[in-house]
Every structure is written in structure tokens, then in C-alpha cells.
Structure 1
Amino acid sequence: MTHTSNSLLPFLGVLKVTGEDRAAFLHNQLSNDINNLPASQACYATYNTPKGRVLANMLVLNTGDALWLIMAQDLIEVTAKRLRMFVMRSKAVLENASETLSVAGSLQPTDEDFDLPETPPLLLNATEQQDFWRIALPHAGELLVGDTASLPEYHEKSAYQWLSHEINHGYPWIVAANTETCVAQMLNQHLLGGVHFRKGCYPGQEIIARAQYRGQVKRGLVMYGSQNLVEAGEALLDDADEEVGVVINTVPQAMGSLILAVVKHSVGEERLHTEKAAGLDFKRRFYQVNPAS
């Protein structure tokens, strides 16, 4: 019998958006089609600077009476503050709901399948339980979001299994340490269903569209292993100590760290390092090779 691994994921939190203009407001700010996000559905999305750099990536859940933005806990306050600058006359209220709502992961470990979906899943099914929502993700894990008391407790081993699972499948989470370092395509958001290319304008839309159609993205997601502990936001360096990438997410392993990073395509499968860690060994790349790069 396969054991299901469940745990609170304290590094994720919820930004709750209410008000009758909530969908229209977020539609104009995020990279996905929030206007047409049905109730009991979720989607990935990014919030970007005008220069196309990802401030935060997230799952947006339509609960029917609110939109819940699930993102890195350490980005909620700064994201809410920035979004509030653009509310103006819109009837939309943004609230850091992390004191009452939590996020947990539910995972049934299986043989790893690293293939990205052939078609980006723009909508993800969500089902409402008694006091929480269950969101089915493309990598076969489920996010549970709702009242903290109704969710599984925190178990370090299970939380690490979740992090490892997401890194193994190439699902990144931008955190405070690496916000504004990447455009959406470097994080494979266009392949994971986080970018809708026909929805109209939003901050960074021109840059993201140009990168998509002119093949200008020269960095992508790569997984590494290291015998050292590595932290999100650390710069990756080549043999000449030139900066070639940035660490996005890490999880401790029995012998070091498993690492998801964005690096230059040109470094290929080279062994890299950080100022603190002597060697990062290439394991797998998740980006699609672009001949123009």
C-alpha cells in the first residue's frame, strides 16, 4: 500500500482578494486570464514588473466569492502593497490571509515522470471540502488550502518530499531572495500554464510576448545536486567566476542539497559553483532548447 505524504507548507501563504471588481483588477495585473477563471478552478500566473521580470509567481484559486493568490509567504506583504497602488477606483480589497488560511501538500510518491505537459494546462480543477480546497496539480501532487485547523500538521520529512517533488518536475517558486531576477519563460511559466498569450495587456506583457515570439530567452531551469547546503538567491558561477545563473529553490538532502536554478543556456551541463558551495553537479534541464540561443 502506497503511503500518502501530507504536510503543511509554511513557505507558502495566501493573499485573498475580494470585491466585485476583483477579477477585472487582477486580470489587468497578472499574466493569466483571470476574467475567465471559473469558480472551483485554479490557474498559475505571474506578477511582473513593466520590464517583464517576475515579482512573484502564484496559483490563483477562484472560490466563488473571492480569489486566493497562493504564493511564497515572504512575498505576500510586498505583493499586496504593490498591487494596492493600482486599485484606484476598482472595488477590490487585498488581505494577507495567512493568519487564518494555510497551504498544505498531499503527495503519493510514485516513479518520477519528468515530462512537462504537452499542452499547458490553463485551468486546474479544485474541489471544496468542509473547511479547505483541494487543487489537483499537473505533477500529480495536490495543494490543500484553507482553515489551518482542518489541514495536516507540519512534518519536516513530508514537506521536504513535496519540495523535492516540485524541483524534480521543474515547478519553481519565486521567493524574496530572487524576485525580479527572471522573465516568465526562464521559469517555464509558459509551459506550465502560467501565461496566456491572447488575454491582452498587463505589466511586462510586451517583453514576455517578444521573448516568446522572437526566441530571445537565453536562460532556463536546470536541476543540480550539491554536497553542500545552498540557499535561494545565490548566484551561480562558472570556472571563470562569471555569474551564469541564480538559485531559485533548494531542499536539503541526506548529502547536501537538491537545487532548481535558472542558468544561461550556454553553460550546458557544466559543473557550477557558488561563493559558498564548491560544486553543483548537473542533473537535468527543464527548458526547451532554442537554436537561436
Structure 2
Amino acid sequence: MKKVLLLLFAFLYAIANDFTPSLGVLYDEKKAELGKKIFFDRRLSDNQDKSCETCHNLYWDFSGTIRSSLYNDTINPPTILSVALNHIYFKNGSAKNLHHQVTQSITSNMQLGIDEKTMTSRVASISEYKNLFSKIYQNGITFDNIVDSIVEFEKALTTTSSRFDKYLMGDENAMTNEEKKGLNLFKDIGCVACHNGINLGTNLMQQLSFYQRVFNGEDLNDNMFEVYRVPTLRNISRTAPYMLDGSITQLKDAIKHVADTQLMHKLSDDEIELIYKFLLTLNGEYPRILK
């Protein structure tokens, strides 16, 4: 009975949150432009050999991630596009807001690997940054201000005006009949239970084989009950590879895999094509700050 209630709660949560169009996020332009410089600056990592953009590519193919399966054989970086719409950050949900996410990304040995004091002194040693921070922040260069500028840049990376957004706002012609069928199928087979809300994900944690274990009558309270953040589906066709380990490179293969393993639903080739066409409508416009 407890398992059934958990499953019912997941569906009720999805119905309550369903979908919301992305209309953008307010941000401070001067701070965002400063944060953009820092985001691309390799000098501001521990060994001065990588930047935030190393894992979150924004120009070569506009993905907000990297195309190789893993970074340093350990990380499949999530896309940075529309990150300000997230409610949970990192696969283990360890950060609850953008400020915490940026702080962890700077100081983590798995990422930039530079401590707060060193980061602050290194930024202060660069005359361009010294001038810019003094103009934008009353107290000049501090670690919190460095983080704040990157946060403002990340807010500016919110993509809007996807065809799905236009459809949600009442434009029936924004999506084709096949794309609408894909949306209905997306709802009918249960994808919406995890991928809902404004970012179609990143608002809850889920156990990877939750439905499979429920229907098999397995215990959900043992040590195997590991939960991970549900990823966003916005711009999904741009953000390969897929899965936590980056093991799937093609979106249609990812659709089939998730339906098989998460929903225990065998999709036909035609059904995969319909959901694929719906997911293509989630591509938003290029953020103004990158133009």
C-alpha cells in the first residue's frame, strides 16, 4: 500500500505542476557581463588550465555542456542553459540555489578546484577585474561578489520563446499535429511524472528504477534507494550525451531507454518518433547575452 501511495503521489505532483512557459529571468546586465568574463577565464581555476566554459560550452555548438561522454572520466556535466529555472542543483541535490551551485563549482576539486581566498586574490591581481568590480560593486572584489556576478550571468542564459512556450501561451499553430501527439504520448505513458514544471525537470529527486521496483514488489527502503535529480528537458536535442554517465549519444535512443527502464513501457518506432518530435519543440532562442 505504501508503494502505491508513493506512485500516486508522483503522478499527483506532476498533475499539480504540469507545464509553465519560460518567459525569462530578470538579471543585472552589468553584473552578468562581468560574470561572463569570469565564466570564460581559465586563469581563475586552480591550475589555470580550465574555466566554467570547459564543461559548459556555450559557443561551439550552443549546448551548455560538453559533447564528449565524460569530463576527466568522472563527470557528465548538465547543461547550463536555463539553469536559473532549476529548483535543485547537482545530481545529488546538494545545492538549493544558484549561489550555492556556483560556490560549489568554483571550490570543488572536481571542477575549478580553487579555494575562496585564492580565487579572490587572483581576481584582484588582474587590473581589468579590479576596475570593473570597483565600478559595479560598492565593496569591490570579494568572493561573494565574484559568485554573484557569475549567478547574474547564469540567469542571463535562460532560453525563451521555444515553440512549446508559444503553444503553452495559446498559439495552437506553434506545434504541428505530430508534435502535439508526441506531447500527449509524453503525458500518457508517464514521462510527465518526473519531467514537469517550468524546466520540465530539475524540481524533484527520483530513484532511477522507481517504477520498475514498485511493479516488481521490491523494497523501496533498502540501501539501493539512491535518488538523483531529474534533469531538465529544455533544449534537450542540443545537450547530448544523455544519462548520468553520458552513455547514450542519440536522443531517440535515450527516449527508448528511459521508457524501457523507468516506465516499463515498450515504445514502437512510431511512438519514439512522435516523442522525439515533441522534444524538438523545447529548443529556446539564443540568449541575448551570447549574441
Task: Tell me which protein shows more helix as a share of its residues.
Answer: 2
TM-score, normalised on structure 2?
0.32
The structure having more radius of gyration, on CA atoms, is 2
Q: Which has the higher contact order (CA 8 A, sep 6+)?
A: 2
Q: State the TM-score, normalizing by the size of structure 1.
A: 0.32
